[in-house]
């Protein structure tokens, strides 16, 4: 922690750290050179703003008041907009990011580097629940600009090993906090518009938000497809881009094509899988009722290790029924039974199946009404990957 905090304060090399959602790649949110290095390490487009991570409301109020460093303020009025107060009281620390107005440009120097906000007039803020994350922010004494610590477009990292796979040689160190407890990113909400909107589904579900005063009518303001498609289809029509700029990019994708079967649709037939695979290996991520390895007859099985410890994929050579000629290697991951375990294991499963060299990954979708409210985030991420 001391080395990581020193890197944040004294160098322009970003530091990876765990949060309860996914691992983040952090730097001093107020320093241009440090924030630029995050974009370079990830290969992230510069027009996609970063979330500012704070260790508490004091640090957030300091930013809103336009202070370069927190503490020592005499102003008694709370600069946090009233709409957000019951929300952060309920969900912070935790997987929720709120969009806030930047202090007026007259407050110089600005507490946030323009690169952090991609020159928007707003910024996203969140207080993570992970103790290592909070300790790093506290020890640095700086708000941390931090996107997920994956290479841009890859599945988000939910274990330190995933960060090393993507960013080895590009960052100074990773604080290893083990696998992430939630497994999908924070919910991003905008309460500066009426009614408020969810810009990205995440660890806090819509129904949970609706239980908070002022948030009863919160609307869904995101699409599950890559939003770039829509902009293209809208040709000449002057369509507006997505509200959360990051939602327009290809995201969360492993190298292998992902074939998503929405909840309630029939499982793929074993014979079809065998034909499609054409002798190559396939992966399957099961979440409920699909039979192991599509019900193919597994002749050999071995356990493989996954970094996140979320249930190892099982591989086996399967025969596609009597008379089938080629045998097929199937890597099978079961993520159920509940929604939160699916969320926790999803990104690790996509990564593990990629490392097995599978030619295609079949995913059994989950019902969005079911379970703890992270189902919408799970399906949003899989649809974007598929
Ligand atoms: O759980 C999380 O939020 C993780 C951990 C590390 O905290 N971070 C994360 O960051 O997912 P990132 O950069 O991968 O995603 C940030 C999302 C993007 O979709 C971005 O466009 C949106 O938040 N965002 C950030 N600032 C915004 C703003 N001012 N207005 C609208 N959307 C914003
Ligand atoms: Mg990300």
Which tens digits make up the pLDDT trace of 327-339?
A: 678 899 999 779 9
| pLDDT over 90 (residue 280) | no
Ligand nearest to the CA of 101: 1
Of 162-176, 231-245, 263-277, 359-373, the poorest mean pLDDT is in 231-245
> Which residues, chain by chain, have CB under 5 Å from ion ligand 2?
148
How confident is the model at residue 67, as a pLDDT? 73
Confidence of residue 42 (pLDDT cuts 50, 70, 90): very high
Confidence of residue 252 (pLDDT cuts 50, 70, 90): confident
Number of residues assigned to the chain: 386
Taking the centre of ligand 1 as the mean of its atom positions, its distance from the CA of residue 246, in whole angstroms, is 7
Average pLDDT, the chain: 87
Token pair of 127, please? Answer: 């207080």
Domains of the chain in sequence order:
1-227 (3.90.870.10), 258-385 (3.40.50)
Q: Whose CA is nearest to atom 12 of ligand 1?
A: 147
State the binding site.
Answer: 21, 44, 48, 53, 122, 126, 146, 148, 156, 186, 200, 252
| pLDDT over 60 (residue 307) | no
Mean per-residue pLDDT for 80-105? Answer: 96
- In the chain, the DSSP E strands lie at 15-17, 24-28, 51-53, 96-101, 122-126, 144-145, 187-190, 197-200, 219-220, 258-261, 282-286, 297-303, 314-319, 327-334, 361-364
Please state, in angstroms and as integers, the Cα–Cα distance from residue 294 to each residue in 4, 232, 323, 330, 333, following that order.
Answer: 46, 37, 17, 9, 11
Give percent above pLDDT 70 in the chain: 82
How confident is the model at residue 241, as a pLDDT? 54
Q: How many CA atoms lie within 13 A of 39 on its CB side?
A: 18
Asked if 348 contacts 300 with a C-beta cutoff of 8 angstroms, the reply is no
Taking the centre of ligand 2 as the mean of its atom positions, its distance from the CA of residue 270, in whole angstroms, is 34
Asked if 19 contacts 180 with a C-beta cutoff of 8 angstroms, the reply is yes
**Per-residue pLDDT tens over the stretch 156-168:** 999 999 999 999 9
């Amino acid at each position: 922690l001391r080395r990581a905090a020193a890197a944040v304060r004294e160098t322009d090399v970003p530091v990876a750290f765990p949060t309860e959602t996914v691992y983040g790649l952090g730097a001093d949110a107020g320093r241009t050179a440090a924030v630029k290095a995050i974009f370079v390490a990830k290969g992230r487009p510069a027009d996609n703003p970063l979330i500012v991570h704070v260790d508490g409301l004091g640090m957030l109020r300091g930013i809103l008041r336009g202070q370069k460093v927190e503490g020592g303020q005499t102003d008694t009025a709370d600069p946090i907009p009233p709409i957000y107060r019951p929300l952060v009281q309920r969900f912070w620390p935790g997987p929720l990011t709120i969009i806030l107005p930047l202090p007026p440009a007259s407050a110089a120097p600005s507490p946030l580097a323009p690169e952090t906000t991609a020159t928007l007039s707003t910024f996203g803020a969140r207080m993570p629940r992970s103790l290592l994350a909070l300790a790093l922010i506290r020890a640095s004494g700086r708000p941390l600009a931090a996107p997920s610590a994956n290479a841009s477009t890859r599945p988000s990292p939910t274990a330190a090993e995933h960060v090393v796979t993507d960013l080895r040689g590009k960052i100074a160190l990773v604080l290893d906090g083990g696998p992430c407890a939630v497994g999908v990113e924070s919910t991003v909400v905008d309460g500066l518009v009426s009614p408020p909107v969810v810009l990205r589904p995440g660890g806090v579900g819509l129904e949970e938000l609706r239980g908070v005063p002022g948030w009863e009518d919160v609307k869904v303001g995101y699409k599950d497809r890559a939003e770039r498609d829509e902009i293209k289809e809208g040709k000449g029509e002057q369509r507006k881009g997505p509200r959360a700029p990051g939602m327009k990019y290809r995201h969360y994708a492993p190298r292998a094509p992902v074939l998503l079967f929405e909840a309630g649709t029939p499982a793929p037939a074993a014979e079809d899988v065998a034909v499609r695979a054409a002798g190559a290996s396939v992966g399957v991520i099961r979440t409920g009722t699909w039979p192991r390895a599509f019900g193919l007859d597994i002749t050999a099985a071995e356990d493989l290790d996954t970094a996140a410890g979320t249930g190892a994929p099982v591989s086996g050579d399967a025969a596609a029924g009597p008379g089938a000629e080629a045998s097929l290697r199937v890597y099978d991951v079961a993520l159920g039974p509940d929604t939160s375990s699916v969320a926790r294991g999803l990104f690790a499963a996509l990564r593990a199946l990629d490392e097995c060299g599978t030619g295609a990954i079949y995913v059994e979708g989950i019902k969005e009404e079911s379970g703890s409210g992270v189902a919408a985030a799970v399906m949003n991420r899989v649809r974007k990957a598929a």
